[in-house]
Amino acid sequence: MVANGHDPAVQKRLDQIEAEIQSRTTFFLVAEEYLQMAHDRELADATLRKKVWHVETLAAPLHNRPINKITSAEILHLLKKVEASGRRETAKKLRGTLSGIFRLAAVTLRADNDPTYAIKGALLPVKVTNRAAITDEKAFGQFLRDLDAYTGAGVIKDALLFQILTMARPGEVRGAKQAEFDFEKKTWCIPAGRTKMRRDHIVPLSDQALELVKQNWISVEGVELVFPSLNSNRKWLSENAFNSALRRMGYTKDEVTAHGFRSTASTILNTRDYDSDVIEAALAHQDKNVMRRTYNRATYWDQRVILMQDWAELVGNLRLPEVVKRCQRLLPVFTVHGVSA
């Protein structure tokens, strides 16, 4: 080996690495490494749970198969069974998880390629169904009055209104922590780990939204959450807490969902001719153009501050009973001692 220009010590170490890798050649063993890497990258808990479900449950038929022997046809058969059950999106996401596992196997020399690549176009397209949302101003005003009259848990009622005012996603609100709020700057910084786009999102808070935070603030050591669970102020509200409240209010899943309030805000504000780019920035939608995205984040802050306060004022206006609105329109403006009334 020395005569051929090789270092025996280096070669010994390479042989040990190869032997270790070759001892872990089944699909499940590689998948375990993939899941550990996903955990180390600090992916969102919901994302990790789905990947674990993909590996442990849906991909169970592949567990004991040598990973370099698994074919594209074998994977397609597995995915088509999931697809046939009506879960097209699940089949698509399962393919993505499997692809990650095979790419890891390929770079560690336990597989020659990623067999999922060949079946990329073989799955049926996902049926896109928009989340139910109230987009008519009059109907939304009625919903806000129904929310005012809701007799369920106050923390859920306030959290729902806070979500509406901030245009945030339900999970972002349920996980909101005290440390994320700056009362002086009137901001809420949602950390990257809890946002869909995996980047920090700073929300300018309207006076109304800030007041809801203060009303629900618990100054007790160990309490971090602003809108905690009813069972423990150290646990999140359940994932279905908001939608369950909406059902108890009499709204069906085809009429409104918690996530749909983002569409409500977007539709009403766009209809009222607010700048669509500012609305998109407020919704934390990511522009596909990198340069434009960077520019938007730096430029639209002042406009977003105004937008969020305007939105809060509009929400307050829409929730007024119709009789009050009519009276406001009919009241004459007159002057008493020089003061308008």
Residue 77 has pLDDT above 80, yes or no: yes
pTM, rounded to two decimals: 0.66
SS3 102: helix
**What pLDDT is stored for residue 272 in this prediction?**
94
Greatest Cα pair distance in the chain = 108
Residue 33 has pLDDT above 80, yes or no: yes
Cβ contacts of 274 within 8 Å, gap of 6 or more: 307, 310
Q: What are the structural domains of the chain? A: 14-119 (1.10.150.130), 137-330 (1.10.443.10)
Q: Which two tokens stand for residue 283?
A: 């919704």
Q: Which two tokens stand for residue 304?
A: 């977003």
CA distance 150 to 216: 17
pLDDT digits (tens, 9 = 90+) for 262-303: 999 999 999 999 999 999 999 987 655 554 555 555 568 999
**What pLDDT is stored for residue 274 in this prediction?**
94
| Percent of the chain clearing pLDDT 70 (strictly above) | 85
**What pLDDT is stored for residue 130 in this prediction?**
64
Q: Which two tokens stand for residue 258?
A: 């918690």
Cβ contacts of 139 within 8 Å, gap of 6 or more: none
Mean pLDDT score, 133-155? 93
What is the DSSP code (8-state) at residue 178? G
b/e map of 259-282 (b: 16 or more CB within 10 Å)? bbbbbbbbbbbeeeebeebbbbbb
pLDDT digits (tens, 9 = 90+) for 308-327: 999 999 999 999 886 555 55
Through-space distance between the first and last CA atoms of the chain, rounded to whole angstroms: 99
- Provide the pLDDT confidence category of residue 228 given band limits of 50, 70 and 90: very high
Q: Name residue 26's beta-bridge partners.
A: 66
Residue 332 has pLDDT above 70, yes or no: no
| Helical packing angle, 72-84 and 88-107, nearest 10° | 160
Query: Which amino acid would we find at residue 264?
Result: T
**What pLDDT is stored for residue 338 in this prediction?**
46
**What pLDDT is stored for residue 109 in this prediction?**
87
**What pLDDT is stored for residue 44 in this prediction?**
72
**What pLDDT is stored for residue 107 in this prediction?**
92
pLDDT digits (tens, 9 = 90+) for 80-126: 999 998 888 899 999 999 999 999 999 988 899 999 999 988 998 87
Helix (H) or strand (E) holding 146: helix 137-149
**What pLDDT is stored for residue 101 in this prediction?**
96
